[in-house]
Amino acid sequence: MTDEFSPIGLGTMGIDDPERIAAAIEMGYRHLDTAQIYDNEEAVGEAIDRADVPRSELFVATKVWADSLAPDDVLETTAESLDELGLDTIDLLYVHRPIEDYDPEETLPAFDELRDDGRIRHVGVSNFSAEEIAVAREVLDTPIFAHQVEMHPLYDQSELLADAHRHDTHLVAYSPIAHGEVFDLPVLNDLAEDHDATEAQIALAWLVEKGAIPIPRSASDVHLRENLAAADIRLDAAAVARIDAIDSEKKLFE
Mean pLDDT, range 98-111, rounded to an integer: 97
**Banded pLDDT at 121 (limits 50, 70, 90):** very high
What percent of the chain clears pLDDT 70, i.e. is strictly above it? 98
* Per-residue pLDDT reduced to its tens digit, 39-83: 999 999 999 999 999 999 999 999 999 999 999 999 999 999 999
Give residue limits of the domains in the chain. Answer: 10-180
pLDDT of residue 248: 77
pLDDT at 2 (0 to 100): 59
pLDDT at position 1 over 60? no
Q: Please indicate whether residue 38 is annotated as part of the active site.
A: yes
Mean pLDDT computed over every residue of the chain: 95
Residue 254 pLDDT > 70 = no
**Contact at 8 Å (CB) between 27 and 228?**
yes
Q: Is the dihedral of CA 132, 253, 69, 100 positive or negative?
A: positive
Torsion (CA) 167, 169, 174, 177 in degrees, nearest 10: 70
Catalytic residue, candidates 29, 38, 155, 174: 38
| Separation CA 100–CA 182 (nearest Å) | 32
Between CA 22 and CA 39 the distance in angstroms is 17
CATH 3.20.20.100 fits 10-180, yes or no: yes
| Segment 184-236, tens digit of pLDDT | 999 999 999 999 999 999 999 999 999 999 999 998 999 999 999 999 999 99
pLDDT band at residue 3 using 50, 70 and 90 as cut-offs = low
DSSP string, 121-139: EEEEEES--HHHHHHHHHH
What pLDDT is attached to residue 158? 94
Q: What is the pLDDT of residues 210-220, one digit of tens each?
A: 999 999 999 89
Q: Compute the average pLDDT of residues 5-31.
A: 95
Q: What percent of the chain is modeled with pLDDT above 90?
A: 93
What is the pLDDT, as a whole number, of residue 250?
A: 72
